[in-house]
Amino acid sequence: GMTFGATSTKRLLWKKKVAAIEINDNGHAPLHIVCCCKPQRDVVKEPMCSSPEMVKCVDMDGLLPLHYACLHGASENVIHVLINKRGGEISRTLGNCGFFPLHYAST
């Protein structure tokens, strides 16, 4: 069976046009959740092509998908995709606790 965060599951959701910027009760967009699962570069890049604004969507804690990617050990390629989509400005975004994405990469 498929497990939470399985690459095949995420691809299916994007293929079926699941609302890329639909937000759950915690303020998470699908990209927040994907970034918690050490995604491959193409899994992150696909939805961002159709909804580039999702990269700057903050959750209830003021965290971007980039914060989650850094916290959960995403690859350098994924981090580059997230940062380059907004010209690097999101790498200087503080969460509500006062931490930049870099702080999460250091934990």
pLDDT-derived band at 3, boundaries 50, 70, 90: very low
For the chain, how big is the Rg over CA atoms in Å?
13
Alpha-carbon span 96 to 12, nearest angstrom: 33
pLDDT for 93 equals 87
pLDDT, tens only, 25-77: 888 888 898 899 998 998 888 777 777 888 888 999 999 999 999 999 999 99
Query: Average pLDDT in the 75-98 region?
Result: 85
pLDDT-derived band at 23, boundaries 50, 70, 90: confident
Q: The whole model's pTM is what?
A: 0.76
What architecture is the 7-105 domain classified under in CATH? Alpha Horseshoe (1.25)
State yes or no: pLDDT of 1 exceeds 90: no
pLDDT for 45 equals 84
